[in-house]
Structure 1
Amino acid sequence: MSIELVSIILVGGVFLLMAIGVPLSFAAGSLAVLVSYFKFGPNVIALAHKTIYGLATEYSLLSVPLFILMATLLERSSLAQDLYDALFKIFGHLKGGVATVTLIISVFMAAISGIIGGEIVLLGLIALPQMMRLQYDRKLSIGIICAGGSLGTMVPPSIVLIIYGLTADVSVQKLFLASFIPGFALASAYFAYIFIRCTLNPNLTPKPAEKTAPFSRRDFLRGILPLFALIMIVFGCIYGGITSITEAAGIAVGMTLVIITLRGELDIKMLWQSLTRTLQSCGIILWVTFGAATLIAVYNLSGGQRYVTGMITGLDVAPVVTIMLMMAIFIILGLFMDWIGILLLTIPIFVPIVVQLGYDPIWFGVLFSLTMQVAFLSPPFGPAAFYLKSVAPPEITLQTIFASLWPFMLIQIAFLVVMLAFPNVALWLPEILK
């Protein structure tokens, strides 16, 4: 089989199998084994075993279940509710205060979870009813929750960046450093957008919250201090070079268990539910990782890397246009696929091309996480919309949710353009902290 035929079989076959309901992991893995058998013979099937074993024994991969376990434990405690209540007492009486509180919680949760589903569900349960009760503009409220809840892909410890680092064979710590400024700058842009819109049109936030009890020492100790301490210790371990990413994740889980225990919330049921959810999430990630990695290994063995590299570098365009083409592919695939499938199917092929063009793969990782921000919000399969719909009132339809997200998608695309034009925005921090 020629490389052109192999490309058609693998790419077309994956989309065909997914269209009829076969999960990506099994679609990619089965096609990889089938193609390798007919092209190279039965002995090459051992390549699948070698690929899976190499991934399963990767030390840095241990950080993924640990960070997911930390996030699931926090989801099941009342810590997020206490944080919301504490911030509500500070900002709630101000005009637009609930929107401000919601975005602050988004940043807090992004900085400790690394995943987006739980954040959006939590915000949908805690913040959306408050904003609806205070007659906030419905579309603005929905956009704040979905865009703010999606920050977990950018703000460390992002699971997206961890998997990217393992796949692209680059330092996860440097990826975290590179995404720190863009992630918090994107959150600041959301704040600025809300402030400008509410200033120009005060009717978007017509009713400040009623006066509540004053902010107390108990609010600080129960709502703010635990999460702030958790974030500072995890960030300090990672950015201070004290521990590896995996060790920092272990410390984060230990601290989370201590915090929940001190709050009197830890019990066997919570621990069992958190471990079960973690196992389910990791199972999905690992199966997709194994299937997609095997497919890419077979494709590269067939000459796919050379074929795609020659085809892309042979285009008579500037290198930055090639990068923009890759971003467009990410966004198009994001309309139909989850982030992990996109990452595992494209990054092993694209990163060598990026390096050949003279760009830094760390910077490219920040671009990838930004495009996944857009994909999380974009119809028809934007995950953020479906997460919110699962807890939103019946009158809030998917059409309403998607119609609410386009201003935030434009902000994300604007940031993507800034990162393309000024790579040093992402690379400055890793350079000075070498």
Structure 2
Amino acid sequence: MSDILHLGINLQELGIGWGTIVMFAMMVALLLTGMPLAFVTLLVALIFALGWFGPMSIPLITSRVYSFVSNFVFVSVPMFVLMAAILDRSGIARDLFDAMKLFAGRVRGGVAVQTIFVAVILAAMSGIIGGEIVLLGLIALPQMLRLGYDRNLAIGVVCAGGSLGTMVPPSIVLIIYGLTANVSIGELFSAAFIPGFMLAMFYVLYILARAYLTPHVVPPVDPTPIPSAEKLRLLKGLFLPILVVFFVLGSIYGGIASVTEASAIGVGGVILSTILRGEFTFRLLRDSALQTLATVGMIVWIGIGATAIVGVYNLMGGVNFISQMITGVSDNPTVIVLLMMAILFFLGAFLDWVGIALLTMPIFVPIIKSLGMDPVWFGVLFCMNMQVSFLSPPFGPAAFYLKSVTPDIPLGVIFRALLPFIALQVLAVGLLLFFPGITGR
């Protein structure tokens, strides 16, 4: 005990400035060893809790962690993950992709355009990113390559479209931000709807521009009309997904159900869809549940670690220290927000979005409020920034998700194909920053 107390005196003597540097250096060093972020943050939090305050600080940290994981809204996360897992194992996404030919089949670059629209619908059903990219990589990418689409364009469409789950409600990223920032998740969903659709339209416009200005990147339009019987069959594939989206988002926006209740409705809708399609089996449910446990377990552990280290750092006075540093950069609020975006962009190249949200938002959101800005708008801006991180090298998750189902395509090729779409995402971040009214706030 005396050694711990002596360590506490030594760490306190560092002061908050050097304490921050030592904490950051310790995290980086442990991450470089390959240790998962959740365990790194937990270990560093424990060391600084004991070293700075002594054993009496541990109950304060555990109570903070408990308040995070016991939040009722957090129940919606495994529900939406389960929806995505079931979609991944059913034929709903494939039939949805085929059905969209009815709307984009007569347009140059139509398959790429329908891929974006399918991505929006899948995002509105589950809000999960990785599963979408894998699904589109298995369904849309082979078809585009077979038809003669430029490989870079096809890769970019799949990764960028699959990442729309970050922005399109019911986004898991928005839910975690709402929990961390203590902001209404319903308001976040409402504010993110138009920006998410705007980004999807940027992708569509880029595809159409490439299709008509550089015709060699897309195949000619197939002039063969679709028979009426085939149209009816394709429409059936569109009905169930649209119905699920309507009930999930409609119940939230209509004030009928909370986000947590709507997520349960969504799971019920997807399971009912698989039953009606004759695809439901015990194995499908079991495998989906196991995948959900693995994914949510990762999110929970990162949440526990990040909540613990932010709690310790807050007790050390670190949040006020960082806030003063950031606000001292300029008197212009826009410059301060730009600095935050730069920090998030840098972190996005190395850390998972869950860790970024839980580590930075307890610091950034109070600054935003003190500047008189809307934390709901900032949440949408944060999610748009995370869009960029999903595609950006060297560790953009979207590229690795696609690589997992297309091992013959080098990672360097995938990242080069994403550059135009990253530029569109940066444009969307800029528009949101300078025109907050896009969110309707």
Asked whether the two chains share a fold, i.e. TM above 0.5, the reply is yes
2 CA distance for matches of 1:220 and 1:257?
A: 20
- 1:52-91 equivalence runs, <5 A: 52-88=65-101, 90-91=103-104
1 CA distance for matches of 2:134 and 2:223?
A: 25
1:355 partnered with 2:369? yes
TM-aligned CA deviation for residue 9 of structure 1 = 2.2
1:385 alignment partner AA: A
TM-aligned CA deviation for residue 48 of structure 1 = 2.4
1:216 partnered with 2:231? yes
1 CA distance for matches of 2:286 and 2:208?
A: 42
2 CA distance for matches of 1:119 and 1:173?
A: 23
Q: What's the TM-score once normalised by structure 1's chain length?
A: 0.96
Deviation readout 1:49-101 (Å, 9 max, x if unpaired): 21221112100000000011111111110011111222235533543121122
Alignment equivalent of 1:286, drawn from 295, 300, 308: 300
CA 1:383/1:368 → structure 2, altered by over 3 Å: closer, same or farther?
A: same
5+ long unaligned stretches in structure 1: 429-434
Structure 2 counterpart SS, 1:390: helix
Contact 2:108–2:208, Cα closer than 8 Å, also in 1: no
2 CA distance for matches of 1:84 and 1:421?
A: 35
2 CA distance for matches of 1:100 and 1:279?
A: 34
Q: Hey, what does 1:368 align to over in structure 2?
A: 382
Query: Paired residues, what number?
Result: 426
Deviation readout 1:128-152 (Å, 9 max, x if unpaired): 1111111111111111111010000
Contact 1:94–1:209, Cα closer than 8 Å, also in 2: no
Q: Hey, what does 2:8 align to over in structure 1?
A: none
TM-aligned CA deviation for residue 276 of structure 1 = 0.2
Deviation readout 1:11-61 (Å, 9 max, x if unpaired): 111111111111111111111111111111101111222122111210000
1:246 partnered with 2:260? yes
Contact 2:330–2:336, Cα closer than 8 Å, also in 1: no
- 1:114-129 equivalence runs, <5 A: 114-129=127-142
Alignment equivalent of 1:337, drawn from 351, 354, 363: 351
2 CA distance for matches of 1:38 and 1:114?
A: 40
Q: Hey, what does 1:257 align to over in structure 2?
A: 271
Contact 1:331–1:374, Cα closer than 8 Å, also in 2: yes
- 1:175-186 equivalence runs, <5 A: 175-186=188-199
Structure 2 counterpart SS, 1:216: helix
Q: Hey, what does 2:39 align to over in structure 1?
A: 26
2 CA distance for matches of 1:139 and 1:349?
A: 39
Q: Hey, what does 1:379 align to over in structure 2?
A: 393
Q: What's the TM-score once normalised by structure 2's chain length?
A: 0.94
Deviation readout 1:157-199 (Å, 9 max, x if unpaired): 0000000000000000000001000000110111111111211
1 CA distance for matches of 2:329 and 2:113?
A: 46
1 CA distance for matches of 2:222 and 2:400?
A: 28
TM-aligned CA deviation for residue 212 of structure 1 = 7.3
2 CA distance for matches of 1:379 and 1:417?
A: 20
Structure 1 counterpart SS, 2:341: helix
TM-aligned CA deviation for residue 220 of structure 1 = 1.5
Contact 1:74–1:80, Cα closer than 8 Å, also in 2: yes
Contact 1:134–1:209, Cα closer than 8 Å, also in 2: no
TM-aligned CA deviation for residue 207 of structure 1 = 3.6
1:268 alignment partner AA: F
1:401 alignment partner AA: I
Q: Hey, what does 1:4 align to over in structure 2?
A: 17
2:287 alignment partner AA: Q
Alignment equivalent of 1:277, drawn from 279, 284, 291: 291
TM-align CA RMSD: 1.3
2 CA distance for matches of 1:334 and 1:255?
A: 34
TM-aligned CA deviation for residue 344 of structure 1 = 0.8
1:409 partnered with 2:422? yes
5+ long unaligned stretches in structure 2: 1-11
Alignment equivalent of 2:316, drawn from 288, 302, 306: 302
TM-aligned CA deviation for residue 381 of structure 1 = 0.3
Alignment equivalent of 1:146, drawn from 152, 159, 162: 159
1 CA distance for matches of 2:232 and 2:242?
A: 15
Contact 2:102–2:231, Cα closer than 8 Å, also in 1: no
TM-aligned CA deviation for residue 393 of structure 1 = 5.4
1:236 partnered with 2:223? no
1 CA distance for matches of 2:105 and 2:142?
A: 14
Contact 1:81–1:126, Cα closer than 8 Å, also in 2: yes
Q: Hey, what does 1:318 align to over in structure 2?
A: 332
